[in-house]
Structure 1
Amino acid sequence: MPFARLATATTPTCHIGLGLAAVGRPGYINLGRDRDLGEERTVEALRARTHELLDAAYAQGVRYIDAARSYGRAEEFLADWLAANPGIDDVVIGSKWGYTYTADWSTDAEHHEIKDHSLATYERQRAETDALLGERLDLYQIHSVTPDSPALTDKKLHAKLAEAAAGGLTVGISTSGPAQADAIRAALAVEADGKPLFRTVQATYNLLETSAEPALAEAHDAGLTVIVKEGMANGRLADPHAPQILRDVAAETGLGCDAVALAWILRRPWAGVVLSGAATVVQLTSNLHAPAVDLTDEQLDRLATLTEDPHSYWQHRGSLPWH
């Protein structure tokens, strides 16, 4: 597995990756986006911002980069950065298929992305990703699998994914929604040619939404690499939106709410890579302080009180505006 390369990194930030969801397109659901990006959101402005983030991430030890077909032009921006830095060959590149970006570089589109886990979509998007990332792609995940996704039962799709895996590509899933645990367990049971098909799982997990934890531990025990997304709950755990308990603990540590929230995830023994969704270099640098946060048992107990009912959490997330 290409993720084995992460274990050889010498910096403590090797288990923090950079996700490009917030910078590959002008509209997203993260809180504070107006402050982070301002009004200048042309293709070239976001290309430059993405490259600046990638430069800073690599310089500070980040070795996993996460993109998706639906992240606007994130794959294109990443491909440009890789082409401009041919000597960088130790980063692991992951992307996702299953959502099509439909906002046409607008922040107020009626539909920003459309989900389709069919074989036809896989073949189309795989070709699109290959045209940009080619052999640099290490990991290709099905985007936002839920228990009712046809991707869990489509044998023809499984055969195509197994073919890609046989060619050296790591195949995985990402999940979303209140039934993430069910989707993860269903994915663990999927086989092709008598072997488990999926080698990674990427799931939402943070101080507010912990319902997938037992299933993620099971996935880790089964040999899958676990990638944690939305560790900041789309900005709900960052200043100025962070709950008071998190602010208090952060003040006690002398670091930011974001570093504390990510540090809490890094303590999980099953967490292989925890994604930063930073939109600025300042945010990224603050996120990368997470490995230095030392939380006491008493602080952990206080933070544990922030957990929400998963259905309430996902309902709240679904109400966040694209801006």
Structure 2
Amino acid sequence: MNAMQRLGVGLAALGRPAYINVGRADELPHGRGVEQMREATWNVLDAAYAAGIRWVDTARSYGRAEEFLGSWLSARNPEDVTVSSKWGYAYVGDWKTDAAVHEVKEHSLGRFHTQYRETRESLDGRLSVYQVHSLTAESPLFQDVRLQEALAELNAEGVQVGFSTSGPGQADTIRRAMALDVSGQRLFRTVQSTWNILETSAEDALREAHDAGLHVLLKEVLANGRLAVRPPAAVQTIASEKEVGPDGLALAAALSRPWADIVLIGAVSPTQLESNLTSSRVSLDEGDLRALAELNVPPERYWDERSALPWT
């Protein structure tokens, strides 16, 4: 599989007016109205599809991202796009950039049934993967047998069940989720986790998941834009040597992991996407990888810094 086939587009920063990605604001349309953001989403999806990208990831909490994607799918009617979405968070930001709260999390059977119905309505039968959004080891899902059984029914219907992770305990969550089974069958078929050159704590667990047959997706590979806008000196140096931007280098580092099946891009404009796609031509040697590995920080520090990013 070539690099382009391993890239996907994530819509977290396009489906709502506010998000935490650094370097996003200048690339978005002025005003960020619903129709403007719909057009921006379509522009990125068109550019990504033309480049050969065939995976799109969204979520119920990404504002109107499912709606935007659903309308694009209806208009363009591509037959070879894999769509993954997530349930568990509800968007409550009311399309305001200064909302006090933008999303609310709930891993319950009721929330699952409600959001699965909403997702199916928005995506009109195009859903391939449905993931528990930001599963943690403390999630009530691990004790909720009825919820586990409801999720298992999706696998039987042909929609793969997965989960995403966030926070310093990602590795523990991945291993615990991998052990879940319903009627003797493993519940989860996919896992989507944060991995970037600053936050590599889930790497061993993700490799184990891949080896066990789960489809592994990497998110926040640019550390919510920080690696593109204010990269460490080593990233800038190696990127210059490779004649790409720091974003291309950071994405290339993720693509260098053979256990990563899909690496998600969070571009909000065709210009950002074009820069991100330079990652497909970057080859990293052992010296490059060692230098980048030294940038790893303790996960607690990384997630503290991420939680301090403002919604803008």
Q: What CA distance in whole angstroms lies between the structure 2 residues aligned with 1:222 and 1:300? A: 25
1:3 alignment partner in structure 2: none
The one-letter amino acid of 2:240's match is A
Structure 1 residue 114 corresponds to structure 2 residue 104: yes
The one-letter amino acid of 2:83's match is I
2:28 alignment partner in structure 1: 37
Give the match's secondary structure for 2:104: strand
The correspondence of residues 216-235 of structure 1 with structure 2, limited to 5 A, is: 216-235=206-225
Deviations 1:118-156 (A, max 9, x none): 000000000100111131000000000011011222110
Q: What CA distance in whole angstroms lies between the structure 2 residues aligned with 1:296 and 1:251? A: 15
| Greater mean alpha carbon deviation, residues 223-232 or residues 125-134 | 125-134
Structure 1 residue 136 corresponds to structure 2 residue 129: no
Deviations 1:270-319 (A, max 9, x none): 10000000011111111112121012222222111111100000000000
Structure 1 residue 248 corresponds to structure 2 residue 237: yes
Q: Which runs of 4+ in 1 moved over 4 A?
A: none
Contact residue 190 and residue 217 of structure 2 kept, 8 A: yes
Identity across the alignment (%): 52
Contact residue 29 and residue 40 of structure 2 kept, 8 A: no
Q: What CA distance in whole angstroms lies between the structure 1 residues aligned with 2:28 and 2:39? A: 12
Structure 1 residue 96 corresponds to structure 2 residue 86: yes
The correspondence of residues 1-323 of structure 1 with structure 2, limited to 5 A, is: 12-37=3-28, 39-86=30-77, 88-239=78-229, 241-323=230-312
Give the match's secondary structure for 2:224: helix
Contact residue 234 and residue 291 of structure 2 kept, 8 A: yes
Q: What CA distance in whole angstroms lies between the structure 2 residues aligned with 1:164 and 1:300? A: 39
Deviation at 1:46, TM superposition (A): 0.3
The one-letter amino acid of 2:44's match is L
Give the match's secondary structure for 1:289: helix
Q: What CA distance in whole angstroms lies between the structure 2 residues aligned with 1:312 and 1:275? A: 23
Q: What CA distance in whole angstroms lies between the structure 2 residues aligned with 1:165 and 1:299? A: 40
Contact residue 70 and residue 124 of structure 2 kept, 8 A: no
The one-letter amino acid of 1:285's match is E
Q: What CA distance in whole angstroms lies between the structure 2 residues aligned with 1:124 and 1:95? A: 14
Alignment length (residue pairs): 312
Deviation at 1:38, TM superposition (A): 5.1
The one-letter amino acid of 1:171's match is V
The one-letter amino acid of 1:55's match is D
Q: TM (normalized to structure 2)?
A: 0.98
Cα-Cα RMSD: 1.0
Q: What CA distance in whole angstroms lies between the structure 1 residues aligned with 2:223 and 2:35? A: 28
1:4 alignment partner in structure 2: none
Contact residue 202 and residue 227 of structure 1 kept, 8 A: yes
The one-letter amino acid of 2:165's match is T
Give the match's secondary structure for 1:65: strand
Contact residue 28 and residue 40 of structure 2 kept, 8 A: no
Give the match's secondary structure for 1:259: helix
Q: What CA distance in whole angstroms lies between the structure 2 residues aligned with 1:292 and 1:93? A: 25
Give the match's secondary structure for 1:27: coil
Give the match's secondary structure for 2:90: strand
Contact residue 162 and residue 190 of structure 2 kept, 8 A: yes
Q: TM (normalized to structure 1)?
A: 0.95
Deviation at 1:162, TM superposition (A): 0.9
- List alignment gaps of at least 5 residues for structure 1: 1-6
Contact residue 12 and residue 61 of structure 1 kept, 8 A: no
The one-letter amino acid of 2:91's match is Y
